[in-house]
Structure 1
Amino acid sequence: MKNTFFYTLIIFFLSITVFAQEGKQIKVQSDRTIKDQNRFPGATILAKVDKQVYMQHEGIEIWCDQAVHYGEDRFVKALGNVIIKQGDTLTMTSKYAEYNGNTQFAYARDQVFMETPSNTLSTDTLFFDRLKQQAYYRSGGTVKDSSNTLTSKIGRYFMDRKQYSFNTDVKIVNPENTVDSDRLDYFTENGHAYLYGPSTVKGKESTLYCERGFYDTKVKTGYAIQNAKIDYDERTVFGDSIFYNSAIQFASATNNIKVLDTANQSVITGHYAEVFKDKDSVFITKRALAATLQENDSIFIHSDTLMITGKPNHRIMNGFYDVRIYKSTMSGKSDSINVNQTTGYTRMLGNPILWSQRNQMTGDTIILISNTKTEKLDSLKVYENAFLAQEDTLKAGYNQVKGQILYGLFKDNELYQVDIDKNTETIFFQRESEGELKLIGINKVLSSSIRMLMSNREIEDVYYYQNIDGTLYREIDLPENARELSGLNWRGEEQIKSKADLFRGEAPLELIKIKGIPLPKVEDDFFDEDTVKRLEDNKSEGSRLLEQELKDAELKETNEKLDSLQNLDTITPKTEIKEDVEKETRKDQKKTSMIDLDMSRTAKERDSITVTTLQYKEEENNKVIDSLQKQ
């Protein structure tokens, strides 16, 4: 009794197995079938008369003009106007295709066109794995969606997440921008592209470069990191990260920023910047520093915030909060600054001060005037409460000049003449010109105006004009509190003597953490070990697939090798196949073709019914067989 139950159980499971295997057979409908066991052992040749050959297998449908069907291997070779359809998710057309029901793997070549609800793909050769729901090409392909055309040498489509992974010579083209990259992941539903390796996003008026980035092809915004930069005509912005909006020509950069202005030979650095291309404006902050080349010498301007506006050669720069200036021949400070390239005026506003070696100059407003053609310093003006102070040679006190307005003249960027007008006062420590430089006396003079001539940034001669009233005091005759004019505020300890001093006293800046772009997901090769084994274990007679190199292409060197292999493998179907089929169709237009609607029959049963019904002549059948053998 127990044995009977055991054998019954075995028979039950064997029945289920046989049923499952039969359920995996490729179902076929054809106007015409041919058998030639000598030349196509184990195969049935299917051909179109009125309707295309139709095959179906577990959710996939195939139409074609001719086919070679290996029933026992569950393998089919389809030729001529091939259509492969997987529900409403994928439709693929080509001139030649293979499908293996055991591996559920399709291989198509020659004018391959794949269509999904969101995009289309055109290529020469395509591999499609139904188990993985992935398509792969390595001989060049073109993908199109509603707004973009994407091309690459290598491509892989993941149907479950609607993502393409492109590699080598990748390009996206749309009406606004062109994207080039070594590797790019593209999501078809939202148009998001992730860039890896040297990449550019080129628009009509700008070019973004990075080695890792993100770009939204629909709203035209992007995010770039790793050697990121963006070019606007004669201005280039570098930064650790750059956000980009091509729709409004806006970019913002964060950390280690450099804005290079080639038209004006200037560089601006900082750690946060905004650029509005249409407004020709740059806003930069966080240790903002502007450097401009003037006659082989650079002038540096540092402030909390810098803003530059205007067209090339007509720039206007405004600096706010704790402005500091450094040049090899002078330095200075102020609360704010305005530099106008058109007029050549540099206005220092709010407690301005200038230093040149031992000289200090202050006033309510200081204006430096440059020659707009040569860009050399031409003159300076100090309005209201002009005060010039110079530390005594032996540091016994300060030489001082005071008035309402000060005018200075430059030659070769060196101050050589200073004129001070209105109620001028001076105090000078007069010393012997040689030897121990003994103090002769302290000279205090009042006059209407003064002219001083400078040499090597030192006061060489002083001329007094109108209403002169002066006294030379011995040192012991002039009290300490009388040796300083009202308004003297010596700030020598603040003097900026190097570029590094521009940041002296500032707290260390803590840079914000950049949000990175993760590396792409590590995927198994399309032709991984399991896939290759699956294909090799289920190979069928006459399959072209296994003649291919079942290996993923990744590097450019490898691509070149594979390209040559692809060219050798690509075989265009001969024209005589089409002519033979059309000829046979014309001959038998009056015949009634039989399409077996009973899909429960096996392929072998259906083949015998169709062959018996159509009864084509042997020589006509041979023509079709001969043409098929050439494929």
Structure 2
Amino acid sequence: MKFTIHIILLFLPFCVFSQKVTKIELLGANSLEYDEKLGKNVRRLLGNVRFKHDDVLMNCDSAYLYSETNSLDAFSNIYINQGDTVHIYGDKLKYMGNSRKAEILNNVRLVDNDMTLTSNNLTYDMKKDIGFYTGGGKMVSAKNNNTLTSNIGYYYSKPKNFFFKDSVVLINPEYEIYSDTLKFNTVSEIAYFFGPTNIYSKENQIYCENGWYDTKNDLSKFKKNSFLLTSEQKLQGDSLYYDRKTGIGQVYSNVIITDTVNKFIINGDYAIHYEHKDQSTITGKPVLTMTFEKDSLFLHADTLFAEMDSTGVHRIVHAYHHSKFYKNDMQGVCDSLVYTLSDSTIRLYIQPVLWSTENQMTAEFISIKTADGKIDHMVMDVNAFIVSQEDTVKYFNQIKGKNIVASFHENALNKVKVTGNGETIYFTREDNGDLFGVNKAISSDLLIYMKENAIEKISFINKPEATLFPIEDVTATELELKDFQWREDQRPKTKEDIFVRNILPEIPVKKKVKTR
């Protein structure tokens, strides 16, 4: 039994090999000559020359057929048809029957359904259905008006895949792609990128070093150092999905959005950009960084949303939920805020608090007007408070009113205008610095002048009541105005603190007054 198996295995390779070798068949020609000068059994064929080899048909104007080597050289009006799917044209052909390889030169054209490849040279393996060219080639896909050029190219006929290498360019009426290495499927019309790739269109520029582009459906995914660049913004991240038809781009992991016009950067874990609306939403620990001459502002919230204002030049940044920002001389906390870059105004909503040097400012709504990164003035609406701490933990200077407008110089308070229900508590000191008393004042409207963050002068506009109490005669409850809150524990001390979650104080529920 073992001996029989060895005999079969010994002859198997020879049998398989012998089955694959077939002779080139001459189907016809206008004239035939034998030329012994060229070798034994060499035939010279002229006029309407036709050959067949397995499933391959070959036509030309003239040819030499070498029976000994099972090969041929063909000239002029070359036409090769394999299986009625691949059609090759050219000026010269060298065909080797034993290996089933064809070398076509000059004015080469390969047609496969809606795809046409042109080159000055093409080597085609009929056995493996693979062709390649060097020295430059161009592929045109009629389905989507795609034109691809490269110095080197490979075509795999069965899966309909092209591999382009070296100076690859894909031209489409809507965009152009430049790449080092590109794979293109002529059925799906999907281009795959390997190496540095740039995509240019009227709307944007895209760069990546790995990814794909569905030219049929205008869908794409880009990876490895990928970014999308518009005239105003640069979006980058670990991976980028883009739908050209809808203009929607999505960026995942290590997201960076750089606004080159408004001079800010947003970082996050995920971003979605609506190109047609020029809007972006960023989540996953998003941070906006705005750099000024000597300092930077860092803003964090659960979600950041950036959109263009009506001018089409400046952006509006919305921060939603657990909003917090830090700057060396200004910090703030609220639920949500809106940063309008056209007039450098920050609007704080839902339990806002702002700190500037020693002062804490709260209200139901706060609007901060800045200039060059510094507070110019601030509007505080409804239950407005300005609080600063004396040099002990027990005493707080307080200014309260229905509405407050505060002016600043170099981020320090210099004038406060209180409108409606004005109240103040501030402490006075002896010349040696010891606490002397507490001054409590009530007036409908107040105008307060500040110097070095301390009250220098108060003008009582309407119906004032002011009393100076010795410090020892004032109880603890009398040292605080109604609704007083000291929220220093929520204040971010560093830019890293903007990620610390604060539990905001509950908003008092106003009791409804019963009417008879």
Following the alignment from structure 1 to structure 2, what is the Cα–Cα distance between the partners of residues 39 and 314?
80
Following the alignment from structure 2 to structure 1, what is the Cα–Cα distance between the partners of residues 287 and 487?
23
Aligned to 1:192: 190
Aligned to 1:518: none
Aligned to 2:26: 27
Q: How does 1:380-399 map to 2 (within 5 A)?
A: 380-399=378-397
Deviation of 1:486 after TM superposition, in Å, equals 0.9
Aligned to 2:510: none
Deviation of 1:475 after TM superposition, in Å, equals 2.6
* Alignment deviations for residues 314-354 of structure 1 (CA, whole Å, 9 cap, x no partner): 32222211111222221111111122334543221111110
Deviation of 1:39 after TM superposition, in Å, equals 4.2
Q: How many residues align?
A: 484
Q: 1:504 aligns with which of 497, 500, 505?
A: 500
Amino acid at match of 1:222: S
Aligned to 2:301: 303
Ranked by relative contact order (alpha carbons within 8 Å, sequence separation 6 or more), the top structure is 1
Following the alignment from structure 2 to structure 1, what is the Cα–Cα distance between the partners of residues 464 and 19?
120
**Secondary structure class of the residue paired with 1:287:** coil
Aligned to 2:172: 174
* Alignment deviations for residues 385-421 of structure 1 (CA, whole Å, 9 cap, x no partner): 1101111123332111111111112334544322222
Deviation of 1:462 after TM superposition, in Å, equals 3.2
**Secondary structure class of the residue paired with 1:338:** strand
* Alignment deviations for residues 242-277 of structure 1 (CA, whole Å, 9 cap, x no partner): 110111222111121111111111111211111111
Deviation of 1:292 after TM superposition, in Å, equals 2.5
For structure 2, the residue ranges without an aligned partner over 5 or more in a row are: 1-11, 503-516
Q: Is the 8 A contact 2:425 2:441 kept in 1?
A: yes
Residues 1:316 and 2:312 are matched in the alignment:
no
Q: Is the 8 A contact 1:115 1:121 kept in 2?
A: yes
Following the alignment from structure 1 to structure 2, what is the Cα–Cα distance between the partners of residues 94 and 118?
19
Aligned to 1:363: 363
**Secondary structure class of the residue paired with 2:128:** coil
Aligned to 2:131: 135
* Alignment deviations for residues 287-337 of structure 1 (CA, whole Å, 9 cap, x no partner): 122222345433232211121112553322222111112222211111111
CA 263–20 in structure 1, closer or farther in 2 if over 3 Å, else same: closer
Deviation of 1:375 after TM superposition, in Å, equals 7.2
CA 455–125 in structure 1, closer or farther in 2 if over 3 Å, else same: farther
Aligned to 1:553: none
Aligned to 2:6: none
Q: How does 1:538-577 map to 2 (within 5 A)?
A: none
Aligned to 2:83: 87
* Alignment deviations for residues 586-618 of structure 1 (CA, whole Å, 9 cap, x no partner): xxxxxxxxxxxxxxxxxxxxxxxxxxxxxxxxx
Residues 1:252 and 2:247 are matched in the alignment:
no
CA 99–205 in structure 1, closer or farther in 2 if over 3 Å, else same: same
Q: Is the 8 A contact 1:329 1:414 kept in 2?
A: no
Following the alignment from structure 2 to structure 1, what is the Cα–Cα distance between the partners of residues 330 and 24?
90
Q: Is the 8 A contact 2:262 2:314 kept in 1?
A: no
Amino acid at match of 2:30: D
Amino acid at match of 1:249: G
Structure number with the higher helix fraction is 1
Following the alignment from structure 1 to structure 2, what is the Cα–Cα distance between the partners of residues 495 and 22?
85
Q: 1:232 aligns with which of 221, 230, 233?
A: 230
* Alignment deviations for residues 45-90 of structure 1 (CA, whole Å, 9 cap, x no partner): 1111xxx111111111111111111012110001111111102121
Query: Share of identical aligned residues, percent?
Result: 30
Following the alignment from structure 2 to structure 1, what is the Cα–Cα distance between the partners of residues 428 and 16?
118
Q: 1:473 aligns with which of 469, 479, 492?
A: 469
Cα RMSD between the aligned structures?
A: 2.3
Q: 2:55 aligns with which of 53, 59, 62?
A: 59
Residues 1:430 and 2:428 are matched in the alignment:
yes
CA 110–414 in structure 1, closer or farther in 2 if over 3 Å, else same: farther
Amino acid at match of 1:244: Y
Amino acid at match of 1:459: A
Q: Is the 8 A contact 2:24 2:71 kept in 1?
A: no
Following the alignment from structure 2 to structure 1, what is the Cα–Cα distance between the partners of residues 16 and 289?
81
Deviation of 1:18 after TM superposition, in Å, equals 13
Structure number with the higher strand fraction is 2
CA 40–480 in structure 1, closer or farther in 2 if over 3 Å, else same: same
Q: Is the 8 A contact 1:232 1:277 kept in 2?
A: no
Aligned to 1:159: 157
Following the alignment from structure 2 to structure 1, what is the Cα–Cα distance between the partners of residues 43 and 413?
101
Q: 2:218 aligns with which of 220, 224, 239?
A: 220
Following the alignment from structure 1 to structure 2, what is the Cα–Cα distance between the partners of residues 277 and 402?
46
Following the alignment from structure 2 to structure 1, what is the Cα–Cα distance between the partners of residues 230 and 160?
34
Aligned to 1:43: 42
Amino acid at match of 1:243: Y
CA 115–383 in structure 1, closer or farther in 2 if over 3 Å, else same: same
Aligned to 1:101: 97
Deviation of 1:179 after TM superposition, in Å, equals 1.3
Q: Is the 8 A contact 1:74 1:101 kept in 2?
A: yes
My pick for the range that moved more, 417-426 or 306-315, is 306-315
Amino acid at match of 2:335: D
Aligned to 1:461: 456
Aligned to 1:603: none
Q: TM-score, normalised by structure 2?
A: 0.89
Following the alignment from structure 1 to structure 2, what is the Cα–Cα distance between the partners of residues 429 and 17?
107
Aligned to 1:328: 328
Deviation of 1:502 after TM superposition, in Å, equals 0.8
CA 18–463 in structure 1, closer or farther in 2 if over 3 Å, else same: closer
Q: Which has the larger Rg?
A: 1
CA 91–297 in structure 1, closer or farther in 2 if over 3 Å, else same: same
Aligned to 1:117: 113
* Alignment deviations for residues 106-142 of structure 1 (CA, whole Å, 9 cap, x no partner): 1111111001124111111111112221111121111
Deviation of 1:279 after TM superposition, in Å, equals 0.9
Following the alignment from structure 2 to structure 1, what is the Cα–Cα distance between the partners of residues 212 and 170?
13
Amino acid at match of 2:273: V
Amino acid at match of 2:34: K
Following the alignment from structure 1 to structure 2, what is the Cα–Cα distance between the partners of residues 161 and 66?
33
Following the alignment from structure 1 to structure 2, what is the Cα–Cα distance between the partners of residues 433 and 77?
113
Following the alignment from structure 1 to structure 2, what is the Cα–Cα distance between the partners of residues 76 and 115?
22
For structure 1, the residue ranges without an aligned partner over 5 or more in a row are: 1-12, 507-631
Q: Is the 8 A contact 2:322 2:501 kept in 1?
A: no
Deviation of 1:25 after TM superposition, in Å, equals 3.6
